[in-house]
Structures are given as C-alpha cells and as structure tokens.
Structure 1
Amino acid sequence: MFTIYVYVPDTLADWELGYVTSELNSGRFFKKDAERVALKTVSYSKEPVITMGGMKIVPDCLTDDIVVSEKSILLLPGANTWNDKKHGAIIEKAGELLSSGATVCAICGATTALANFGLLNNRPHTSNGPGFLEMFSPGYKGQNFYVDKPSVADNNLITAGSTGALLWAKQIIEHLGVFKSDTLESWYDYFSTGKPEHFYALMQTLQSDNEN
C-alpha cells in the first residue's frame, strides 16, 4: 500500500493539491489491479491549520510519524510560511525520504524550502520561473539543473510551479502507476482542455478496463 503524506502548513495553497489528492483519495479512475492508497495529513503539531482559502485542517500525524519507505510519498504544497524555521523538520525528512528511494513532490513555495536545504542542487527541477529560487533560497546552487516547465519529474522527485498543479498531479499519478496509461492521458486531456470528447474517451477507458 502507498501512503501519501500531505504536509499542511498554515496558509497552504488549497488549489495546488486539489487534483492529486482528490484522485488518489477517491480512486475513482484507478485501474482494476491498482495498489491501494492511504492519505494522511501531517504537520509539525496537531494544532488545526488554516489554509489560504480559510479551510481548517486538523493534521492526522506528526512529521516524526512518517514512515521512511519506498511506499511513502510526501506532498509539499505551496504556502506563505515556508521561511518559518518550524518547517525545517519536514525538509530534513524530505531529504531522508529522497535518499531512501521514497517520493517527494513539491510545488510553488515548497520548492524554495527544498532549494534552501540543497536538495535541488544536483537534480532536474522547476519552480515559479527562472530567478525565483535565487530570490528566496540563499542556499540554492542548482541553476544548471533548472528546467523552465510547469512541472518536472526526476524519478522520485517531482517539482512544479504555482501554475503547474495539473501536470504535477499527472506526473505523480504516473509515477505511482495507479491509472492505466490511456486513462491518465484522457484524464489530463480533459482537465487541461475541457473538451467533451476527452471526457467520453476517459469513460471509455474505464469501461474497457471493466470488460477485461
């Protein structure tokens, strides 16, 4: 079973997690033999967190509770509070997870925390545009590995800018292998274009899976 740990800092950018958490938690488009997924919210304390959209989240567990395993996936969303030292523990855990072969997925402001910790210095990655990480992460030395795209997957590290949430979700789902490839392509095509033919193609991939 995969365990998805969703880190929830104050001022969490709600929209950046919507695509990936809803699909992984619901499993509505999973292929028949997909591995099961458990989703847990995690933070530095058990106190309620208020997101940027005003939603209140009570974390399920603490940073120390994260199991370091190749079946663990850590999602780090954007927030306005990443420069707070209380988030240092989760970035240290992210480094431990990456070293162990577990997957770390960071978007928007969370990439600045990884960059400041040196975790982006030697791996392909992206953020909110060229120059952004230099501005907010004094420890960043990974300019030669920066890729100017909405989302970049480098094996078990998947990073994205603030407008890359949909592609980020696609790359995470693809990395986990819980969708059939044609389901994932149709899902992405539909949500990126809004064209109804892609919705019907998506439904058809699910029907063909049920017939097998």
Structure 2
Amino acid sequence: MKEKTIYLYVLDTLSDWEPGYALAEINSGRMFRKGAQKFIVQTVGAGKEPITTMGGIKIKPDISVTEVSLKNAALLMLIGADLWDDPKHRPVLSLTRQFLESGIPVAAICGATGALANEGILDEYRHTSNDPGYLKQLQGYSGGDNYVMEPAVRDGDLITASGLAPLEFAREILARLDVVEPAALTAWYNLYTTREAKYFYELSELFPQEG
C-alpha cells in the first residue's frame, strides 16, 4: 500500500508540544492495526526558510505551501503559534479550504483555530478552540452557535482543539485516519490521562513485543 502524506505546517513560534502525541504515533505506527494505511510526514512552510519553534528548535520546511499536492494527501495539520496573523500565512488558509472541499481532513489546534475562525472556515462546523471569547473577538468569525465546550471536536473532516489538549487532538486525528482499533486508542488515551499501569498492560497485551 502506497504511503500517504501528512502535511505539517510550520511557522515561527510554533508550539512544539501540540503536535507531539499525534506525530509520534503516526510516524512510528506502533499502534496501527495490521494492514492499516501508512504515512509520511512532510513539513510545509510559507517558504523554505528555516523557522524557529517556541522551544528554540529550528525546522527547515521540506516544501513550501505552493508545493503541497492534494493527490496523495491524508491530512493537513495546523499548529498554534503567535504569528498566525502574518499575511504570509494566508495561502495555507486558502489551502485549508481546498482540503476540506476535497474531503481531506484538516486538524487545527490553539492559535491555528483562531486563524481558521478569522477566515470564516469554522462557521459551518462544530468546533472548539481555547475559549469562545477568544474567537468572538475576531472580525471574520460568526460561528458562535457551533462552538462546543470540549477539549477537542471532530466534525466530519475538520478537527479542532484547545491548546491545552494535545492528547485529545491526537486521539481525534488517529480516529479520523482510522488506523488504530478503538480498544487500543481508548487504552492509549486512558494510560496518558490516568497514568494507571493497568492501561499499559492492556496495551502490552494488544501489541506484544517480539522476543
């Protein structure tokens, strides 16, 4: 089965921790059920100049936003950052519309949800963000009736999450990609939220290590 592409948009001040859980599971595939679709992750920038994350990590984008192809795309991931209002990021917001119109999922967290809200993209979807008041101050937003007070929300092909919910963000992404059995995803989520050892052993039984 040919690998599909997960596109991760990167920009200066990107919140390092927000995509971590999702990327680790997508890249390793350690919980994927047998025969599940495999993915490669490509970083995308407004251009190809290196960016610096909030944690000081420098990332040189693999491609620019103009090089993204919908043909073999599986997901577009948009992460929180302080600089989403910079006009140079408008092209990826237009690309977001193309993904959604093509039935390809988009996952946005924290400040990226604000960028989508300001473009009017959230208005027709059930969604969440950091706080409803955060979105209401944006001139382009009129989707308050569809706001859901949950850490993460999946409505069709759009996933949104609070910046305080990277784990729930990952869970919704993995569920939408349909690569992990529900029992495994539940045990994984419970392990990280409760820290109870029984869920570690549950996962160990589901995915025994080869000796």
Report the TM range for the smaller structure's normalisation. Answer: over 0.9
The counterpart of 2:102, out of the listed 97, 100, 116, is 100
Residue pairs, 1:30-41, within 5 angstroms: 30-41=32-43
Aligned to 2:185: 184
| 1:127 aligned partner, one-letter code | S
Distance 2:131 2:150 in 1: 8
Higher helix share: 1
> Structure 1 vs Structure 2: percent identity of aligned residues?
43
Distance 1:146 1:70 in 2: 31
Judge conservation of contact 1:2–1:38 (CA < 8 Å) in 2: yes
Residue pairs, 1:108-187, within 5 angstroms: 108-135=110-137, 137-187=138-188
- Determine helix, strand or coil for the equivalent of 2:77: strand
CA deviations on 1:97-152 (whole Å, 9 max, x unpaired) are 101101100000000110111101111000001211112x2100000100011000
Cα shift at 1:207? 3.4
Structure 1 gaps of 5+ residues are none
| 2:33 aligned partner, one-letter code | K
Distance 1:194 1:104 in 2: 29
Judge conservation of contact 1:23–1:29 (CA < 8 Å) in 2: yes
Distance 1:72 1:197 in 2: 33
TM-score normalised to structure 1 length: 0.95
Judge conservation of contact 1:70–1:102 (CA < 8 Å) in 2: no
| 1:149 aligned partner, one-letter code | E
Judge conservation of contact 2:8–2:42 (CA < 8 Å) in 1: yes
Structure 2 gaps of 5+ residues are none
Aligned to 1:7: 9
Aligned to 1:202: 203
Aligned to 2:51: 49
Cα shift at 1:70? 7.2
Judge conservation of contact 1:69–1:101 (CA < 8 Å) in 2: no
Distance 2:71 2:136 in 1: 31
TM-score normalised to structure 2 length: 0.95
| 2:127 aligned partner, one-letter code | H
Cα shift at 1:76? 0.2
* Structure 1 outlier segments of 4+, above 2 Å: 69-72
Distance 1:68 1:2 in 2: 10
| 1:189 aligned partner, one-letter code | N
Cα shift at 1:69? 4.1
Q: How many residues align?
A: 208
